[in-house]
Structure 1
């Protein structure tokens, strides 16, 4: 009797081929290719996600370093000093009072800035955030055009770490502010390149998870600052800069060697061979299925609309009415969130609570916000979630001023943590939301615009905190009103929950038009 196995094998192979023919009978789009090849979250993607997310640790450290390096240290009376007089500027220096610890503990004590204007004392932090804003226009857009996500992230980390190291050579507040400005320009693209690179390397199902992972590493950097500052509490502020710059420099080398480029960006640039190699390194599929998916994509005309010109992102965002409306709404929304998010952290010393414990509490609240954010974005839509968090954060911030300046520190820190929690949730959501609102060809620049609107809020918040005067809680009124009003700009944006990531402006516009017709 003839062996039936060859016939069964042929039948099986024919059935399998027929199945694949039906499955891939039409040319795969870029989003379909991503879903087919790296839709599952394999170990290779986990490793890549961790390596990329590490950049957020050093990014957040530079954002909040001024909480310790630019703070006014504690002091005590000597001789016949009137301890009831809390205005240090009314006392003769070196004869009536002295700093607790070494004079070089912060820039305020080393350069005698304790009686300077709020502008001078807030200049370094504001300069840093202004550098971040300008860096968006001159640097961040290159991630969508010539450099790509990985190279832009590498260069940003490298410049940030080098300029941070050089900052320790500053001998006055003006040079120090200049170096902080250059550091801000360097780190302008880190936050956006990180989250965009993460979310472009995974399927639709895992975008929320890797976004939360990035936020977790960002907060890890914030929480590490109190530990670094406490260990060096008897040392100069320059030691803290050294502790944060050297690890960032080492990380830059690891990033360049081990992190791969975004396959979406490579395909948009027409570099299909590199893109397929990247997909192969990340994919959990066997070689046959991957080759089949790749073969169907090869030959597809890769759209390079407005990706060769470095300024194409700006022209596309503001040249189309729907894109202009989205980016402007994101800018106003981001500004309100940033003013409160950064203001709550930078102004933590104004509440009369321990500065080390306060930052730790903020970090713990932010970590808790990641868990809640993940649960919320899985079940609720983006618009209502953002609006609720902005309104809640604004209300709690306004309540701080009702408590008063001189008492109830525990209640004030509790309200601050509640407001900060709402701002953290809003911050997390807007970064994920911004990525989903725009296609690949402008995604990094659009996300950078949203993030730098947040940073612009940080610029003003640092000035507000420094200009508090006798009533250090006035800034919280401004924080509350601004985030409350700006939160309503989310109503101008479409819902994106569960939507695919598109690649060109035309694809995005076509999808939005179809959705509007259906609605």
Structure 2
């Protein structure tokens, strides 16, 4: 999969160097970023295998994020014989002897803990607690990806925390313990998607950055579909088994694959760990060995580098710069609207009257063509234009889902799927776009901060979904309005398609001033 022309050019350069000494002066003039681009600018099998390993945590993330769709669902019930009730009755107004659950009383937390008549706040509390934990983790845990832990260690530490908390969730005794463990799981989950995406994009050249980032989106889709399959096979059993069947394999994966994944060479260079960075470049290079030696020998290895001891100070300094603050606020506004719509529609499938297993499969199936669209056109279309169109379209379709689909389930599910398709595409582009807006030295912190806006919007989705069972506009109407309005914040951020990634804040600022 490596680019043949690049390899041939580099081989010719190496041969020319042996014949004419004057060409030796060309390579030392390359900057560090240009040298890295030459080494990993193509796309080889080593990079592909590394991408697959780094994408699996996003699969696990999808399972743990949406597991509440099944574990916290309202199960079906039926009237008992000789009882004065009908299927349209409000079970909260019926005596307990008049009705029974259609399946085991341990099927979901609603039936096991008798929450069928609880308020929307109590029913939505576990899922909201999960995203509240994501919000806390984003401000406390995610920032270590730029400094002490790095991309790789943070990714696997976060995944391990999330899965261990999920394993313990299976042994919850009440709604409060359940919600607390979901909060801890969300705390660990906070940096996974952004960290995985950064680790993917920092180990390939700018030509393949968009396509390789899309692998993580496919992994999320597979995670959601596999969750639906596990839930369907477990449909007659307790919700506790669902947590066990998803967490135990995930913990095993984290432990086994940690030792086979490379750290980001760009981050290693920023930390002054040049020798380790060169070793990583050798492991993921997409050029021939003779050309690789030629380029790596021209990287000056430093013995010491001044390290940042206060990451929050760096972020504070970043926010003091007008261009950076504008990018952070605009990307957060975009993330807020996209998060409310995309995750809200996934959580709200139970409100459409369809079979919940089929609804989730339909939604997951719709994510696949959206991901394919992202993969094919991410490097052909501008980031801003494609993001704006998808946000506006998703918003209009979601609001039409309420207006035109009321009482007509076929039309409603069709509009919902079309809106989800657009919001998924917007989410994919937004994730890649935000990683390109900020330099390497603060990329993990800045993108994690932007993702907190997504999480903030998602915190309210379970509550809106619960309230939407009575008032439809409070779910899909709000989802559509949020993503529609957020699209207009794109006027405050620049286009990044085809641009090289900068390493430091000053380098980014200097580059932007030259462009202006």
| TM-score, L = length of structure 2 | 0.94
What RMSD in Å do the two structures reach over aligned CA positions? 1.8
The 3-state SS of whatever aligns with 1:76 is: strand
The 3-state SS of whatever aligns with 2:203 is: coil
The 3-state SS of whatever aligns with 1:333 is: helix
| 1:415 lines up with 2:415 in the alignment | yes
Find the aligned partners of 1:263 and 1:185 in 2 and give their Cα distance. 27
Q: For structure 1, which segment, 475-484 or 45-54, has the greater mean C-alpha deviation from structure 2 after superposition? A: 475-484
Could you list the runs of 5+ residues in structure 1 that have no partner in the other structure? Answer: 1-10
Aligned to 1:213: 215
Deviations, residues 49-79 of structure 1 (Å, cap 9, x unaligned): 0010011110011111110000010000013
Find the aligned partners of 1:204 and 1:39 in 2 and give their Cα distance. 7
**Alpha-carbon distance, 1:372 to partner:** 1.2
Find the aligned partners of 2:37 and 2:515 in 1 and give their Cα distance. 22
| 1:92 lines up with 2:90 in the alignment | no
2:85 aligned to which of 82, 85, 100 = 82
The 3-state SS of whatever aligns with 2:385 is: helix
Task: Give the conservation status (yes or no) of the 8 Å contact 2:17–2:23.
Answer: no
Mapping 1:354-503, distance limit 5 Å: 354-405=355-406, 407-503=407-503
Find the aligned partners of 1:59 and 1:135 in 2 and give their Cα distance. 14
The 3-state SS of whatever aligns with 1:112 is: coil
**Alpha-carbon distance, 1:130 to partner:** 0.7
**Alpha-carbon distance, 1:452 to partner:** 2.2
Find the aligned partners of 2:231 and 2:170 in 1 and give their Cα distance. 15
Find the aligned partners of 1:205 and 1:164 in 2 and give their Cα distance. 38
- C-alpha distance 377-85 of structure 1, shift in aligned 2 (>3 A): closer
Aligned to 2:250: 248
- C-alpha distance 488-185 of structure 1, shift in aligned 2 (>3 A): same
Find the aligned partners of 2:185 and 2:20 in 1 and give their Cα distance. 56
Task: Give the conservation status (yes or no) of the 8 Å contact 2:57–2:159.
Answer: yes
The 3-state SS of whatever aligns with 1:296 is: coil
**Alpha-carbon distance, 1:39 to partner:** 1.2
| TM-score, L = length of structure 1 | 0.93
Aligned residues: 502
**Alpha-carbon distance, 1:84 to partner:** 5.0
Find the aligned partners of 1:354 and 1:273 in 2 and give their Cα distance. 56
- C-alpha distance 302-195 of structure 1, shift in aligned 2 (>3 A): farther
**Alpha-carbon distance, 1:449 to partner:** 1.8
Deviations, residues 313-356 of structure 1 (Å, cap 9, x unaligned): 42243221111110010111000000000110100010111111
Task: Give the conservation status (yes or no) of the 8 Å contact 2:16–2:23.
Answer: no
Aligned to 1:340: 341
Find the aligned partners of 2:94 and 2:424 in 1 and give their Cα distance. 41
1:275 aligned to which of 256, 274, 277 = 277
Q: For structure 1, which segment, 313-322 or 46-55, has the greater mean C-alpha deviation from structure 2 after superposition? A: 313-322
Q: For structure 1, which segment, 443-452 or 103-112, has the greater mean C-alpha deviation from structure 2 after superposition? A: 443-452
Deviations, residues 73-129 of structure 1 (Å, cap 9, x unaligned): 000001323215431111111x00010111010001101111111000000000000
Mapping 1:190-229, distance limit 5 Å: 190-229=192-231
Find the aligned partners of 1:353 and 1:119 in 2 and give their Cα distance. 24
Mapping 1:92-241, distance limit 5 Å: 92-93=95-96, 95-241=97-243
**Alpha-carbon distance, 1:301 to partner:** 9.5
Deviations, residues 381-440 of structure 1 (Å, cap 9, x unaligned): 1111111000000000110111354x2111000000011011001000000000110000
Find the aligned partners of 1:420 and 1:303 in 2 and give their Cα distance. 47
Aligned to 1:4: none
The 3-state SS of whatever aligns with 1:503 is: coil
